Amino acid sequence: MESQILVIFGASGDLAKRKLIPALYELSQQDLLPEKFAVLGVSRSALSDEDFRERMTEFLPESRESSPDIETFLQRLSYFTLQTGEAAEYERLKRHLEELSAATGIPPNTIYYLATPPSLYEVIPRCLNAVRLCHSDEGFRRLIVEKPFGTDLSSAQDLNRNLLSYFREDQIYRIDHYLGKETVQNMLVTRFANGIFEPIWNLNFIHHVEITSAESLGVEGRGGYYDHSGALRDMVQSHLLQLVGLVAMEPPVVVEADAIRNEVLKVFQSLRPITPDQITKHVVRGQYIASTIKGDPVKGYRDEEGVNPLSRTETFVALKFFIDSWRWGGVPFYIRTGKKLPARVAEVVIHFKRPPRHLFQYEENALTNYNQLILRVQPDEGIVLKFGLKVPGPGFRVQTVNMDFHYDDLGNSHLPSAYARLLLDCMQGDATLFARGDAVEEAWKFIQPISDVFASGLDMPIYGYPAGTWGPEEAEGIVDDANWRYPCKNLSNDGTYCEL
């Protein structure tokens, strides 16, 4: 891997110390960083190099005193104070980068990470371009952008136009940490490396597809931000539609970034629009209300700090939609996400069609509807196939059994964090797991009509659900001829016990 410098804008914020620096340390421990590698933190706060290093230790696994590895790693970090919104300041930054490059022997290979508020997503690239820091004949320049990629279709299009004014598309890495999770990436291998799955991954054998992303926490002090976002824009438009793209895509010609992202784009272009008159039948939104969880009282969403007491922002949303393609014509897809649900779980469930006749007697806990393939994203990462087998003894009584794989079973294999994986991919120039601008816009085209109806409030109820439950009962009504799966924290023993 080429030697390089990572410049983190907004380096004094939570994202840097909670996610980015721990991820870089993880890569360092796995000996995956380039031999010559430096991190330059950039922010408005007045900090020395040593101040910055000390701040960045908060979420590292050990203290500087107890681990020489941490001290060695921290020496790669330095800091530069910059008034981020002032263009004149960037000449100073350019000179500092040149000095850092000369001191470390690192060529002008630079990644800029925008760990800043979205209001600076256009400002920083423009200022970098003004001092000729966007392109280089001698090395690469890349830009990592955190979500949200716009707050609606119009702002997403504006953001793309602005970014492309200063960087080429192949330089831009729109990061979605969901795509860095090992099980998400394994979806491609599960499908395309196994002859037992790909031939049946279509409308002839699959009854419906279900995707759940549940959080047991509430807004956790982010009420002011969340009340202007909601579950639809915060989760569905980005994380969950990206999962849909990987589940539903056609096989790429080669395992290469553009080939894979081209197929994801085709999925988004094939999403059947949900018209305003269909929304109440295909979409259910909810908001958690006060309840008691494990004997402790829990506040409702409208009582959270920073939330409008009359807020109609959804903390839960469930959608039913279709993909109009040869592979998926007529197969319903269901998405569900929410806060203050019983467990923190993210998974994809493939529900296969049931046999045309039920010949046998089923146990009470037997899967009488559909065989399921469960791809668990988090926690207890792994894969489970559910199918029926005969109970020992007389007769033909059937019960459901699990055939499962857990990443923990690999023993000494290291399961990288999502940010570590994605940072490494960007360092290597691999954009496979990063969202492309055209796909972001297509996702917004699908979400925008729903968001508009939510904003108008016309004929679109918002249902209350007690904190600690699986959302409003009305969400059951959008699933045809089946039920939602209610997952547990533990993956494979969910029929025996459920740890919530």
**Catalytically annotated residue among 208, 239, 282, 351:** 239
Handedness of CA 227, 274, 350, 465 (dihedral sign): positive
User: Does the N-terminal peptide bond of residue 273 adopt cis geometry, omega within 30 degrees of 0?
Assistant: no
User: Does the N-terminal peptide bond of residue 148 adopt cis geometry, omega within 30 degrees of 0?
Assistant: yes
- Secondary structure percentages of the chain, helix, strand, coil, to 5: 35, 20, 45
Joined tokens for residue 1: 């891997």
Residue 159 CB: number of other CB atoms within 10 A? 22
Provide the 3-class DSSP secondary structure of residue 492: coil
Cβ(427)–Cβ(1) under 8 Å?
Answer: yes
Which residues on adjacent β-strands are paired with residue 286?
316, 463
Q: Scanning the structure block, which residue is given the tokens 């997503």?
A: 121
- Strand spans (E) along 353-396: 361-362, 372-378, 382-390
Length of the chain: 500
Please tell me the distance from the alpha carbon of residue 62 to that of residue 312, in angstroms, as a whole number.
43
Cβ(273)–Cβ(446) under 8 Å?
Answer: yes
Please tell me the distance from the alpha carbon of residue 199 to that of residue 351, in angstroms, as a whole number.
15
Annotation marks residue 282 as catalytic: no
Q: Which helix (H) or strand (E) holds 401?
A: strand 397-406
CA angle 475, 479, 480 (to 5 degrees): 150
Residues involved in catalysis: 239
